[in-house]
Amino acid sequence: MFRLPPRRLLPILAAGFSLLSVVASGPSQAAEDAVVIPAPAVDLPAADAPQTAVFAGGCFWGVQGVFQHAKGVLNAVSGYAGGARETANYSASGTGTTGHAESVQVSYDPRVVSYGKLLQIYFSVAHDPTQLNRQGPDSGTQYRSTIFAQTAAQKEVAERYIAQLNAAKVYKRPIVTTIETGKPFYAAEDYHQDYLTLHPSQPYIVYNDLPKIEALKKLFPDTYRDKPALVRDAKATN
């Protein structure tokens, strides 16, 4: 049976009250507004084999959902990165003392979507990179904006892109996204996987996350796909 994570109860209740004024017309604005930004001036070179990237930007439900709707993404798994294996679970990470951030491991086909394009989606629609240790109704270091670079090349591209965006002043505030290396990723509990797709009517999802999917479709029409790449489908084919 599905178990509602208790740490989400207050944000969900708050979102439910907010929905009273917008339920008739559907979601129109997320807790983090999408921002139109330029593509990275520098990207990774082309590759034939699937690649992996790990992003943290608030609650992993929405971040996972965004990347699942991007063409070229083979799988997007919610999980934890930044801390030890022993504390890579929802109850421990929720204390904000483990070093973990709610993260999403994205496996992608670089022949279809580049690392730079994933970065652009991450900074544009997946979250607000100017919020320090919080996103929307969620606060704590476990909700920090972090790129867990898997290679030195990823680290360099991400650093140069952050500098590019800051120089262009596309945000009203400076980017606070950090880049961490050498931090393993651990998959989250099964009930967190494909959460946005499985619970599209939950108030938290309706208010905070579905607008991100709408923004992806609007701002990245060539990258958006309607059918998401679900974790359960990936498991079924392995």
CB atoms < 10 A from the CB of 62, how many? 29
**Alpha-carbon distance values, 171 to 22, 37, 38, 130, 180 (Å):** 27, 9, 12, 8, 22
List the structure tokens of 44.
């990774």
Catalytically annotated residue among 59, 104, 119, 216: 59
Angle subtended by helix axes 210-219 and 60-68, to nearest 10: 30
Angle at 61 between CA 57 and CA 62, to 5 degrees: 60
- Determine phi and psi for 30, rounding to 5 degrees: -90, 170
Q: Does 59 participate in catalysis according to the annotation?
A: yes
Q: Which residues are catalytic?
A: 59
